[in-house]
């Protein structure tokens, strides 16, 4: 066993024989426990996530949300791009025809998927755009029947705002303030004053963190060439990048975590900081949308060509920021019913 651990340490951590011999048993036990914990995380992620299997209701629901959200995002453009999100429509046909999905039609996320499919068809019909090669009238009628009384041609997957109506609650009580925060993807292209961004980051720093260790950092990128390269790698902001002139990169620093049990704490503290940052930006009327950095190490290597970040830091999220247009739309992003989330045991 000792030989196997030794070999593993040599190969994975670059720890040679001499260093290994000098190590205390307690240290060796820690390496072993860390490896075991990461291995267990690895196994659970393989088994329970949607990478390899797409066979349970919750896995299918996740894929449905992913694809319906692409339709919502396509609805944000002032003039509709004909036949937008075609790949998502094709994927949704497969999921939305599954019996287990039809049986769950009253669940929020399934219902909104059927509603978006109907809105998509109605919009193309009204605009006289042919989509029959990937979305037939028969399919549309089928979805409409599933919705029954829940179908309405007033349904909107995107909500329109004026600048003033969007920010009318930014200094209201927390309930109104929180209900009014939404991701904005369309900016004027004008730059937000750096002093205001600093104020927002300062406010976000009220975020609690484990033992107050405050591992978060926020970088501001304003070089448009770099922003475009970074967002190209990011990939989830396609179609909206043109007007992005400022990008925040939120990281947390591994130096601040000291136990094996804390191996995921950097993501937790980073997530808490992110939420506070989004609220702080909203408070200061800085339009923003989190842009996920759920990336592989290979993608992070490509990123390092454009931006230097210390190895100890993990990117939690990117946040394109800007000034909102006088009129703009945001995604509906329907939330679940409380009973889907709050369970009393
Ligand atoms: C960690 C994280 C990553 C996200 N990544 C993206 C992204 O890559 N592209 C995008 O358009 N929206 C992204 N979003 C925005 C979500 O789509 C949005 O928060 C969600 O639909 C809820 O809508 P709301 O923020 O308007 O309430 C992300 C949100 C979070 C929290």
- Look up the CATH number of the domain holding residue 208: 3.40.109.10
Confidence grade of residue 22 (pLDDT, cut at 50, 70, 90): confident
CB 289 within 8 A of CB 181: no
Whether 96 and 237 share a structural domain: no
Q: Is 239 left (phi over 0), alpha (psi -120 to 50) or beta?
A: left
Residue 244 and residue 106 share a domain: no
Which of 106, 132, 156 corresponds to the end of one domain? 156
Strands (E), the chain: 158-162, 216-221, 246-253, 287-288, 291-292, 313-322, 327-331
Cα of 288 from ligand 1 centre, angstroms: 10
Give residue 14's pLDDT: 65
Domain that holds residue 276: 161-326
**Is residue 247 a part of any domain in this protein?**
yes
Task: Determine, yes or no, domain membership for 90.
Answer: yes
Q: Do 170 and 149 reside in the same domain of the chain?
A: no
Is 292 near ligand 1, meaning CB less than 6 Å away?
Answer: yes
332 inside domain: no
Q: Do the Cβ atoms of 307 and 233 come closer than 8 Å?
A: no
Q: Using pLDDT thresholds of 50, 70 and 90, give the confidence band for residue 8.
A: low
Question: Does residue 168 sit in helix, strand or coil?
Answer: coil
Tell me phi and psi for residue 304, to 5 degrees.
Answer: -65, -10
Same domain flag for 134 and 193? no
Structural domain contains residue 39:
no
What are the pLDDT digits (tens) for 142-169? 999 999 999 999 999 999 999 999 999 9
Of 156, 189, 205, the position where a domain reaches its end is 156
Verify that 112 and 186 share a domain, yes or no. no
Contact 291/231 with Cβ under 8 angstroms?
yes
pLDDT in tens, 51-95: 999 999 999 999 999 999 999 999 999 899 999 999 999 999 999
Do 103 and 180 lie in one domain? The reply is no
Q: How many CB atoms lie within 10 A of CB 334?
A: 17
Is there a single domain that holds both residue 144 and residue 252?
no
Cβ 330 under 6 angstroms from ligand 1: yes
User: What are the b/e assignments for 204-216, b being 16+ CB within 10 Å?
Assistant: beebebbeebbbb
Encode pLDDT of 179-218 as tens digits: 999 999 999 999 999 999 999 999 999 999 999 999 999 9
Average pLDDT across the chain, whole number: 95
The pair of three-digit structure tokens given for residue 31, joined into one six-digit string:
């390496």
pLDDT single digits (tens) 89-139: 999 999 999 999 999 999 999 999 999 999 999 999 999 999 999 999 999
Instruction: Name the residue with the closest Cα to ligand 1, atom 20.
Output: 333
CA–CA dist 243, 62 (Å, integer): 30
Structural domain tally of the chain? 2
pTM here is 0.94
Coil, strand, or helix at residue 203? Answer: helix
Candidate from 66, 268, 279, 290 with most ligand 1 atoms within 8 A of CB, to mutate: 290
Residue 73 lies in a domain: yes
Is residue 6 situated within a structural domain? no
Is residue 44 a part of any domain in this protein? no
């Amino acid at each position: 066993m000792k030989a196997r651990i030794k070999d593993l340490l040599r190969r994975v951590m670059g720890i040679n024989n001499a260093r290994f011999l000098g190590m205390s048993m307690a240290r060796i036990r820690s390496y072993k426990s860390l490896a075991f914990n990461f291995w267990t995380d690895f196994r659970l992620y393989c088994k329970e996530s949607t990478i390899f299997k797409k066979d349970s209701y919750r896995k299918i629901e996740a894929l449905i949300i992913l694809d319906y959200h692409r339709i919502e995002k396509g609805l944000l453009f002032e003039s509709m791009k004909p036949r937008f999100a075609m790949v998502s429509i094709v994927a949704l046909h497969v999921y939305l025809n599954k019996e287990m999905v039809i049986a769950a039609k009253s669940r929020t996320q399934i219902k909104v998927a059927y509603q978006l499919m109907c809105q998509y068809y109605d919009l193309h019909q009204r605009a006289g755009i042919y989509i029959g090669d990937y979305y037939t009238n028969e399919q549309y009628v089928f979805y409409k029947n599933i919705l029954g009384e829940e179908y309405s041609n007033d349904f909107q997957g995107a909500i329109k705002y004026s600048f003033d109506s969007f920010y009318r609650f930014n200094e209201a009580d927390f309930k109104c303030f929180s209900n009014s925060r939404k991701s904005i993807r369309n900016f004027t292209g004008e730059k937000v004053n750096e002093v205001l961004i600093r104020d927002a980051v300062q406010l976000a720093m009220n975020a609690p963190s484990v033992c107050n260790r405050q591992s978060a950092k926020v970088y501001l990128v304003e070089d448009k060439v770099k922003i475009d390269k970074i967002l190209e790698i990011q990939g989830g902001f396609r179609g909206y990048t043109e007007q992005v002139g400022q990008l925040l990169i939120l990281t947390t620093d591994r130096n601040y975590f000291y136990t094996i049990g804390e191996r995921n704490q950097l993501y937790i503290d980073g997530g808490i900081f992110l939420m506070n940052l989004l609220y702080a930006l909203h408070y200061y009327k800085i339009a923003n949308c989190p842009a996920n950095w759920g990336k592989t190490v290979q993608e992070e290597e490509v990123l390092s060509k454009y931006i230097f970040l210390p190895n100890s830091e993990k990117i939690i999220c990117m946040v394109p920021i800007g000034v909102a247009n006088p009129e703009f739309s945001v995604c509906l992003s329907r939330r679940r019913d409380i009973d889907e989330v709050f369970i009393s045991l």
